[in-house]
Structure 1
Amino acid sequence: MTNEPAAITDRLATAETGLEIWLWLPLLKLLAEGEPVTIADLATATGRTADEVQAALAAVPDTEYDDEGQIIGQGLTLRPTRHHFEIGGEQLYTWCALDTLIFPQLLDRPGRIESSQREGSTPVRISVDATGVTSVEPRTAVVSLVNPEDLSQIRSAFCNQVHYFASPDEAAPWLERHPEATTIPVAAAFELATALVESMHLDPATVSPDRSGLNGAVCC
């Protein structure tokens, strides 16, 4: 299966992932406030019933919950990962590197990112807003991508392989262990993120709970 960015974008913008835009975007906005989200809050935000919300959440097995059954993560998460993501004054985290470039566009807020592929690797620090990447340190940083056969469990199949590396040289040993993967510059990854946002065919600032005209799914 090809690892061309366009091919990956096409697949992430389909229902293969199980993510529903009518649910996901309101959930992201609620999670961005830095607190767990209840089913009732999400039903109110989407204009759907609690049963519809629970069914849509169940279609994404990787969705994270706290001990009280509140939602704490679906792409954007309150649970620490290697992808530190600060937005609106809240210290949050994401499931993958690409998420950090998607969410500032969906939420229309600038974000600050610090990420490293593993303990001891060189951290990558990025500032980004809805229009593009405003700073990258180091400038040689790249993002890894894969195009797995099965996207039904998007976090394990896709997100867990999408990292920041400080340089192509730093990515090289990982690529040797993952020959199915590729890497692209951060600017190219932002273009890929933009294509994913555009594939939703909606304006994130004016999304409504209307049931028509919303595509299936996007990235984690």
Structure 2
Amino acid sequence: MSTPTIASLKAAWSRRDYSTNRASRGAVDLLANGRPVTPEALAGRTGMSVDQARAHVGRIRAEGAEVVDGAIVGLALTLHPTGHRFRVRGHDLYTWCGFDALFLPIMLGERAEATSTCPVTGAEIQLTVQPDGTVSAATPGTVVVGIVGEEVTSCCSVAGPDSAICAQMPFFASREVGERWLPGHPGVAIVDLDEAREIARAYVEECR
């Protein structure tokens, strides 16, 4: 696998609608309130029938969504602890990966705070992400993120925090650190936060 370019990442993610279709957007919006999303709640949020909502829950569960007792508890945004903490609407939640923490504020239209750990150095990473995806504060100021390209997403049909997709999209303390990690992860690019914002916007805004 080759290292994807920024242009190819934008194109690939704009074609991927795993968590950006109407029903899943509704589920993510409800998860941001800090509670499991039942089929009844999803139906009320999206206008689907309850049977349609149950069918949607079953479909996304097969694709990697976290479902407990018939209710969604994780779909990029999750109630279950991961290495990526995500505070939004006053709730302490989590994301499946670093890139999720960059596109979810755009999807939700909400300011969020993300805290993670560099997998190479162990350094704590803190970000404030605005509703348009702009990172208005970052500690350290050299943070970058890994983003997988289409060669990875096309051969991995299941998402989730431990999937080949999400496990390869962490934050790094710097580009130099990310480049040290990269050789063992073909099909992944190390992306600065401004470039990641453009990819995140392509994912959220062009996948309808």
Which residue pairs with 1:56 in the alignment? 56
The answer (yes or no) to whether the contact 2:119–2:170 under 8 Å persists in 1 is no
Q: Which runs of 5+ in 1 are unaligned?
A: 201-214, 216-220
Q: Report what 1:210 is aligned to.
A: none
Aligned mates of 1:168, 1:124 — CA distance in 2: 14
Change (3 A) 1:58 1:91: same
Q: Given the superposition, is the C-alpha separation of residues 184 and 71 from structure 1 closer, same or farther in structure 2, using an over 3 Å criterion?
A: same
Is 1:140 the counterpart of 2:142? The answer is: yes
**Offset at residue 97 of structure 1 (A):** 1.1
- Whether 2:201 is the aligned partner of 1:184: answer no
Whole-Å Cα distance in 1 between the matches of residues 179 and 56 of structure 2?
38
Who is 1:152 aligned against?
157
Shift of 1:88: 1.1
The CA distance in 1 between the partners of 2:17 and 2:202, in whole Å, is 17
Residue aligned with 2:181, SS: helix
Instruction: Provide the residue aligned with 1:111 in structure 2.
Output: 112
8 Å Cα contact 1:17/1:152 also seen in 2: no
5+ residue gaps, structure 2, are: none
Partner in structure 2 of residue 36 of structure 1: 36
Tell me the secondary structure at the aligned position of residue 10 of structure 2: helix
Deviation at 1:44, TM superposition (A): 1.3
Measured in 1, the distance between the counterparts of 2:120 and 2:90 equals 25
String of CA shifts for 1:118-173, please: whole Å, max 9, x gaps.
Answer: 39611211101113111111111110112213242133132221110001232233
Q: 1:190 to 1:18 in 2, by over 3 A?
A: closer
2:201 pairs, out of 194, 197, 201, with: 194
The whole-number CA distance in structure 2 between the counterparts of 1:106 and 1:180 is: 25
Quote how far apart the aligned CAs of 1:32 are.
Answer: 0.4
| Distance 1:54-1:8 versus aligned 2 partners, 3 A rule | farther
Q: More deviation in 54-63 or 30-39?
A: 54-63
**Structure 1: distance between partners of 2:19 and 2:42:** 15
Give, in whole Å, the separation in 2 of the partners of 1:135 and 1:197. 22
The residue correspondences of 1:93-108 to structure 2 (distance < 5 A) are 93-108=94-109
Question: What SS does structure 2 have at the residue aligned with 1:113?
Answer: strand
Q: TM-score, normalised by structure 1?
A: 0.82
Q: Map 1:153-168 to 2 at 5 A.
A: 153-155=158-160, 156-168=163-175
Structure 1 vs Structure 2 CA RMSD: 2.0
Label 1:77 to 1:157 Cα distance change in 2 as closer, same or farther (>3 A).
same
Q: Is the 8 A contact 2:85 2:95 kept in 1?
A: yes
Residues 65 and 59 of structure 1, relative CA distance in 2, 3 Å threshold: closer
Q: Deviations over 1:91-138 (max 9, x none)?
A: 011111111111111111110011114396112111011131111111
Percent pairwise identity: 31
Taking structure 2 as the reference length, the TM-score comes to: 0.86
Q: Secondary structure at the match of 1:160?
A: helix
Alpha-carbon distance between aligned partners in 2 of 1:20 and 1:106, rounded to the nearest angstrom = 8
